Amino acid sequence: MTSQLPKSSLEQDVLPDTSRCSHCGLEIVGGQAVRGSDPDTVFCCKGCRLVYRTLHEFGLGKFYELRDDSELRTADPRGNRFGYFDHDDFIHRHVHSLSRDLSEVRLAIPGIHCAACVWVLEKLPQVLAGVTHTRVNLSDGTIVLTYIPSEVKLSEIAQTLDSLGYTPAPLSLDERLKQRRKLKRALLLRLGVAAATAGNTMIISVSLYQGYFSGMELKYRDFFHWISLIIALPCVFYAAIPFYRGALAGLLAKRPHVDMPISLGILFSFFLSVHATVSGLEYVYFESVCALVFLLLIGRYVQQEVLAGVQSKLSQAATFFPLSVLRKSGGEFEEIPLEALRVGDEIKVLPGERAPADGIVVEGSTHLDLSVLSGESAPVSIAQEQEVPAGALNLESAFLLEARSIGRDSRVGKLLEQLQEAPTESSSSSRLINSLSGYFVITVLVLGFLGFLAWLPTGIPHAFEVMVAVFVVSCPCALALGPPLIFSGATRKALSLGIFLKNMKLFEERKQIRQVFFDKTGTLTTGAFEVVGCNTAAGESVEPEWLSHVLALEEGVASHPLAHTLLSYVRERVCDISAPQLRDLSYISGCGVVGKEDRKGRTYTWKLGSLSWAIDGESTRGFEATNSAHTVVCLSCNGVPKLFFELQDTLHPETTQVVQQLRKEGVAVGILSGDRQEVVSHVAEQLGIAPEFAHGGLLPQQKAECIASTKGRSIFVGDGANDVAALLEADIGIGLRSGVEVCLENADIFISEDGMKRFGLLWSYAKKVSRALQRNVVVSIAYNIGGVSLALAGYITPLFAALLMSISSLSVLFSSLWIAYASTDKSS
């Protein structure tokens, strides 16, 4: 069998070094390599060799050619964990029976993105007997499988997909996906109708224009008018419905909405034209009505599609619950899908897993990482009878949890739900645009009426013509079409940077922003300490033996954040020294770690921890910390200090650059921190921030008060639970990764990783976008003022007004598209 393996000439391209697995691309851990039959191939495990062989056997070796090596997925080493796919509850929920022996299932496969994915997944029937058909949908990241349940189990299919590198997941958002699809189809139908009517009325209006200039028999003209009227009917009474709905909703809520001037324009022009047709007047504007609806629908469609993309990305970001849980039934544990979990069930939470539900610990104790929930970085210890929130990460050992509220009912579940619904249409069509629309409608109506009155002396027909010209020439496109397109482009671009925009405030208000406040720990700084100095008492040199004692002591308490830093620092310096054996190692909370060593009949007590505790009141023997903002950790032997480590919370590498960029633009930069004032001042000094802007020792409420007391618009960038009030108080709140729960709810913008760097990018990008928005509005205001005044002066006939309006709409469309797409590509 193996000798028939076709030798792929591309293997060497795929595999430049032999330290990576030919199939999964993972690094091969020392000595574990499994040789393939081909000398060029090497695998990390037998499983990968099997898949590689299988792919070639079925003539699917092309996979290695097509795949995008940059994003190889990591296979889970735990073996089959898809048992829950065969659970009745799972099948009931996700599998449809097509006929007696044929079933269909739709699964989510996060991360499929390239031709190789499509190809290999759609070849699945060749690889796995029992699967009859597969169809990939890259837009949704899903796959539809048809299979014969009597021949192959769903868990086997899942296992095969996983071994190919595509880990399937149940489609939790099936309903939302269907809803989105329905919306998209509905809008596409309207768009198509609008396009057809616009095209056909325009062709007829070309003949009419010709007739206006060179004369036309009335019977033809009126016939053309009637035909145009008939064509325009489906456009006005079907395609344009979304605008009427928006306008009506705005009216009912007594709030100006951008759909109001649009609806007014459409209906007014349409009924004027109907009147002209019926009474045999000269001009009709059916083609402008249809073109307007068509162009505006394009804007709506682009916006809806981009938002749908953001939502599906967000829901992927939010799937951090385990998909299956171990439920206790009798004395045994069985694996069930998360959906089958009920309140009152006892479940086992393994180390490295997140708690799937809010609940109470029934058995066992462990440390939990709650950083995702609260921003608190230190592990929290829990024991029996204590509450565990859903989403908490189990760091240490398995425990039994009694579920109290599950999934979406849990605290974090509710928040995630909000997050997925966050970028709705209403939030993207912004306050500014809507209030401008209000003024727009009123101004145009008043001016039109005034024009009518002013021209009344020349006769009612002429005065009426002037009023019509004013209404027709005014174009709401810069308000209605431009911003959604620009915002869609910006959202897409931001998403590619891992930034979720909930609204457009940053782009609209960027120019007015006078201050940017940062939280310190975790925002300006990495939140991880770095050893900046290692000193001895005066006149002594560093003995390697001391470092090895540090190693021995710290390995006893590896979960402490400082311990981790010190360990890696020491390991870098002592490679071949083994740590001495210490007994009675214990960690004293708030002080440090202590251990005893027996050597040559004597007992030495080694301590590592805070200075005052370690030296037991002895003198520091000439040691002075180089900076009062540094944290000092001391190693002592029987109370005599040996080593002093100075540690410091390090700045993000990009922080300085971002701060400079902000100040260059005249934006004041401030620090609001709950940390000690000395530490804050030190950071401020490093960044060149004036002392009066560096506030330390603040309570959450004081942070908000600081922001409230400043003049002008401000941004606050923060991450922790203590930043919520400030995020809300600032004009624009930007939340960073670590405090997901609080930030998602309260921030306008959420940056998922790499905070400072991405913030810098976003800031410069926002400059471009806000300029573009302004340019659009300015050009459009100029056009509207010019057009309306000419119309009022009687220079513009209604027909010419309709032409001008169409040109204006088109120019807005193209300039917005250009800004939103062309320029974003360049900057990325």
Partner 1 sequence: MEIVFLLLPLSLVIAAAALGGYLWSVRSGQYDDLDTPAHRMLIDEDVKSDESEVRDVE
Distance of closest approach, residue 528 Cβ to partner 1, in angstroms: 39
192 binds partner 1 (CB under 8 A): yes
Q: What amino acid occupies position 264?
A: L
Counting contacts by CB under 8 A, is residue 591 touching partner 1?
no
Residue closer to partner 1 by CB (options 126, 548) is: 126
SS3 sequence of 300-312: HHHHHHHHHHHHH
Query: Which residue of 193, 473, 490, 667 would you call a contact of partner 1, by CB under 8 A?
Result: 193
Cα separation values, 416 from 170, 302, 320, 503, Å: 18, 25, 10, 17
Choose one: 197-205, 340-348, 373-381, 638-646; the region binding partner 1 (CB under 8 A).
Answer: 197-205
Q: Which residues between 8 and 47 bind partner 1 (CB under 8 A)?
A: none
Which residue number, 219 or 711, has a Cβ lying nearer to partner 1? 219
> Between 231 and 633, whose beta carbon lies closer to partner 1?
231
Q: Write down the least CB distance from residue 119 to partner 1, Å.
A: 5
Query: Is 612:592 a contact under the CB 8 Å cutoff?
Result: no
List all residues 6 or more positions away from 374 whose beta carbon is below 8 Å from its beta carbon: 720, 721, 739, 741, 742
Structure tokens at 522: 């975790």
Nearer Cβ to partner 1 (313/367): 313
CB nearer partner 1, residue 238 or residue 244:
238
Q: Is 133 left (phi over 0), alpha (psi -120 to 50) or beta?
A: beta
What is the C-alpha to C-alpha distance for residues 318 and 113, in angstroms, rounded to an integer?
19
Q: Show the site string, 316-335: x = touches partner 1 by CB under 8 A, - = not.
A: --------------------
Tell whether residue 181 is a contact of partner 1 (CB under 8 A). yes
Which residue, 138 or 579, has its beta carbon nearer to partner 1?
Answer: 138
The CB-of-65 to partner 1 minimum distance in angstroms stands at 11
SS3 561: helix
Q: Which is nearer to partner 1, 121 or 258 (CB)?
A: 121
Q: Give the residue from 631, 629, 594 showing the smallest Cα distance to 613.
A: 594
Which of 14/33 has CB closer to partner 1? 14
Q: Nearest approach, Cβ of 276 to partner 1 (angstroms)?
A: 19
Residue 188 near partner 1 by CB under 8 A: yes
CB of 139 to partner 1, least distance (A): 5
CA atoms of 64 and 214, how far apart (whole Å): 68
Site size for partner 1, by CB under 8 A? Answer: 28
The residues in 219-258 that bind partner 1, with binding defined as CB under 8 A, are 220, 223-224, 227, 231
Measured from the CB atom, the residue of 183 and 446 that comes closer to partner 1 is 183
User: Considering beta carbons, is residue 133 or 185 the nearer one to partner 1?
Assistant: 185
**Which of residues 492 and 703 has its CB atom nearest to partner 1 in the complex?**
492
Is the CB of residue 388 less than 8 Å from the CB of residue 355?
Answer: yes
State the minimum distance, in angstroms, from the CB of residue 224 to partner 1: 8
User: Half-sphere exposure of residue 616, counting CA atoms within 13 Å on the CB side?
Assistant: 13
Query: Which residues are registered as beta bridge partners of 134?
Result: 145
Which of the residues 103 through 142 are near partner 1 (CB under 8 A)? 114-115, 118-119, 122, 136-140
Task: Decide if residue 196 touches partner 1 (CB under 8 A).
Answer: yes
Shortest distance, CB of residue 809 to partner 1, whole angstroms? 22
Amino acid at position 541, single letter? S
The candidate with the shortest Cα–Cα distance to 513, out of 317, 659, 715, 787, is: 715
Residue 439 as a binder of partner 1 (CB under 8 A): the answer is no
Measured in degrees and rounded to the nearest 5, phi and psi for residue 593 equal: -120, 145
> 674 near 697, Cβ under 8 Å?
yes
Count of all residues that appear for the chain in the document: 828
Shortest distance (Å) from residue 510 CB to partner 1: 33
336-371 burial, b at 16+ Cβ within 10 Å, e below that, comes to: bbbbbbeeebbbbbeeebbbbbbbebeebebbbbbb
Q: How far apart are CA 142 and CA 155, in angstroms?
A: 17
The residues near 754 (Cβ < 8 Å, ≥ 6 apart) are 498
Q: Considering the rule CB under 8 A, would residue 66 count as an interface residue with partner 1? A: yes
For residue 643, the minimal CB distance to partner 1 (Å) is 59
Q: How far is the CB of 57 from partner 1 (least distance, A)?
A: 14
Short-list 398, 390, 376, CA closest to 320: 390
List 10, 129, 183, 189, residue binding partner 1 (CB under 8 A):
189
Q: How many angstroms separate the CA atoms of 643 and 550, rounded?
A: 9
Q: Does 378 bind partner 1 (CB under 8 A)?
A: no
Is residue 699 a contact residue for partner 1 (CB under 8 A)?
A: no
Nearest CB to partner 1, comparing residues 496 and 586: 496
List 96, 185, 245, 571, residue binding partner 1 (CB under 8 A): 185
In whole angstroms, how close is the CB of 555 to partner 1 at the nearest point? Answer: 50
Question: What is the nearest approach in angstroms of partner 1 to the Cβ of residue 13?
Answer: 18
Q: Which of 474, 145, 453 is nearest to 292 (CA)?
A: 474
**Largest Cα span, the chain:** 123
Nearer to partner 1, 59 or 712 (CB): 59
| Chain residues in the site for partner 1 (CB under 8 A) | 59, 66, 114-115, 118-119, 122, 136-140, 181, 184-185, 188-189, 192-193, 196, 199-200, 204, 220, 223-224, 227, 231
